[in-house]
Amino acid sequence: MARQRDERIDHAVLVAVCELVRESGYSALTMEAIAQRAGTTKPAIRRRWKSQKHVVVAALAEARTGVAEIDTGCTCCDLAGHLDALRAGLEDPVFGRVLPALAVDLADDPELREDFLTSFWAPRREACAGSLRKARERGDLRPGQDVDLLLDLFAAPVVFRALFGHQELTREFVLEVVRALLSGVGTVEKGLCAHAGVSIGE
């Protein structure tokens, strides 16, 4: 009979990864440090995850950094909320410090990339996609808009600025992104966003 997996070790390892990244950064992370902080052993970690990179992806997914469940009935408010959650997540060292280096690892490891997209990125996209589908049902988006394309259009400026740091990533920038894109894909030329305090299409 197979030995039952101890989920307490899983949780301790994922928490340890987040703590260590916050303290020392992604590049300084080691399996030894993770095992010591989690109160377990390297073999125990390797039995659960294929590599240290997979442990990091699992920790990011577990933390749900940047995921927001929003339904205000206001398309502008909902999208601003989702992008602001992404912005705040990117400011958290657990995500912000890891993403630039991890992006390189993902390019060279298709399995790791699939794990990242499925466990980490998909929940964030789906949360925002739900808001976009509701916006489409309300008639706030022009007919025929591709939700996947809109997701990329909204998220890309925020992720790009976080990756390269060429300009400050602020909440005001997030609101400008929402305003600029909705003025192009929305159905209302001027719509007050009470939450954001800006007018779409001005």
* Domain, as residue range, for 48: 7-61
Flag whether 176 is in a domain: yes
Verify that 173 and 146 share a domain, yes or no.
yes
CATH (domain of 11): 1.10.10.60
Whether residue 70 sits in one domain with residue 47 = no
Structural contact between residues 82 and 72, judged by C-beta atoms closer than 8 angstroms: no
Alpha helices, H only, the chain: 7-24, 31-38, 42-48, 52-63, 75-91, 93-96, 99-108, 110-115, 122-138, 147-164, 171-185
- Let me know if residue 118 belongs to a domain: no
Q: What is the 3-state secondary structure (H, E, C) of 53-103?
A: HHHHHHHHHHHCCCCCCCCCCCHHHHHHHHHHHHHHHHHCHHHHCCHHHHH
The amino acid present at 45, given as its one-letter code, is I
User: Do 90 and 54 share a structural domain?
Assistant: no
State whether 169 and 131 are in the same domain.
yes
Tell me the C-alpha distance between 143 and 115, whole Å.
33
Q: Is residue 109 part of a domain?
A: no
Q: Is 68 inside a domain boundary?
A: yes
State whether 36 and 89 are in the same domain: no
Same-domain check for residues 49 and 83 = no
Do 90 and 131 share a domain, yes or no? yes
Q: Are residues 74 and 45 in the same domain?
A: no
Give a yes or no: residue 42 inside a domain. Answer: yes
34 domain residue, yes or no:
yes
Single pTM value for the model = 0.81
Each residue's pLDDT tens digit in the chain (202 positions)? 445 567 899 999 999 999 999 999 898 999 999 999 999 999 999 999 999 999 999 999 988 776 888 899 999 999 999 999 999 988 888 888 888 888 888 998 999 999 999 998 998 899 999 999 999 999 999 888 899 999 999 999 999 998 888 899 999 999 999 999 998 877 754 444 544 444 444 4
If we measure between CA atoms, which residue out of 129, 124, 106 comes closest to residue 116? 106
Structure tokens of 62? 């577990």
The verdict on 73 and 131 lying in the same domain is: yes
Rounded Cα distance, 124 and 132, in Å: 13
Name the 3-class secondary structure at 186: strand
CATH for 142? 1.10.357.10
**What's the domain count of the chain?**
2
Q: 69 with 150, same domain?
A: yes
pLDDT at 4: 58
Tell whether the torsion through CA atoms of 94, 98, 68 and 174 is positive or negative. Answer: positive
Burial of 12 (0-12, 13-18, 19+ CB in 10 A): middle
Residues 131 and 181 in one domain: yes
Look at strands 198-200 and 191-193 and give their pairing.
Answer: antiparallel
pLDDT confidence of residue 2:
46
Same domain? For 83 and 171 the reply is yes
Q: Is residue 15, in this structure, part of any structural domain at all?
A: yes
Shortest CA distance to 109 belongs to which of 148, 57, 69? 57
